[in-house]
Amino acid sequence: MPTHPIPSNTKLERLFDGCAFAEGPAADAVGDVYFSDCPNNRILVYRAATGKTEVWQEPSLRANGMNFDAQGRLVVCCDGKDGGARAVRRYEPDGSITTLASHFGGKKLNAPNDLCFDSTGRIYFTDPRYGDKSDLEQECMAVYRIENDGGLTRVIDDLQTPNGILITPDDRTLYLVDHNPEPGGARTLVRYDVAADGSWHFTRTLADFGTDHGGDGMALDVAGNIYLTAGSGERAGVYVIAPDGTQLGFIPTGEVAGNCTFGGPDLQTLYIAASTSLYRIRLAIPGQLAWPAAG
């Protein structure tokens, strides 16, 4: 396995330009890349066969973070602004949409942001709120797990503003972005590990962006490295971070990056949703996804 994830001769390529803020890329088995444009209330799809991008779902109820589950179904976190669903929703093969989570303890969720799946199919998602907080019903911004029986469990409640989320293939470690944009707020990438009783506990901080624009979305490769979108200006892009917190590389995007995912038949293409655009870049190590498997 190569030790450096970014080949020296690779180049970033823009595939689409025209979003208000691109987020949540997720690649399917044929290589098409779905991504959200939350402020414009739509989900777009980049068609690998033609190189064209088209609107796939509009309105999307303010879709944000998205991923395909192990059955190839698109699962979407929806924001809470301007009529957003404030829910986690799943697009079924027959075209219907299932709401998987919208309330906890009889109260509306804040604004589900990003999600990942463990090896049994349970869904972990973050529930922050950015902007207007006047209609919040939950007493905190938390991380939840949707159980296989449909139940909802709050698993972490001690972060300021949880955003991006990843789980390791052994289901024992969660990587979380804590991005509080308020002055003095946390802008960190942190690690939580599971205890013998199933509870999650903070282990360490892997990266701290200080007063800069903090992290957002993430992807994981098969070597365990984290690809984190973060930063602004010249520091805007994807930070490649080893499990021990060592920064292995940086992919500048020139505009604030929102999220990223792996795709392509060998899962060695990283797709980056960044402000107005969708980008791709070839990398040296394949991605780790719930679906699809590398061809």
Span 245-259, average pLDDT: 98
For residues 269 and 48, the answer to whether their CB atoms sit within 8 Å is no
**Four-way CATH pick for 13-282: 3.40.50.970, 2.60.120.260, 2.120.10.30, 3.40.50.2020:** 2.120.10.30
Question: pLDDT per residue over 268-286, tens digit each?
Answer: 999 999 999 999 999 999 9
- Judged against a pLDDT cut of 70, whether residue 166 lies above it is answered with yes
Mean pLDDT score across all residues of the chain: 97
What is the reported pTM?
Answer: 0.97
CA dihedral 56, 117, 179, 83 (to 10 degrees): 40
Across residues 229-238, what is the average pLDDT? 97
Domain boundaries, the chain: 13-282
Each residue of 45-82: pLDDT tens digit? 999 999 999 999 999 999 999 999 999 999 999 998 88
Looking at this protein, which amino acid is placed at residue 134? Answer: S
**What are the C-alpha distances in Å from 276 to residues 37, 93, 167, 240, 266?**
9, 29, 28, 22, 27
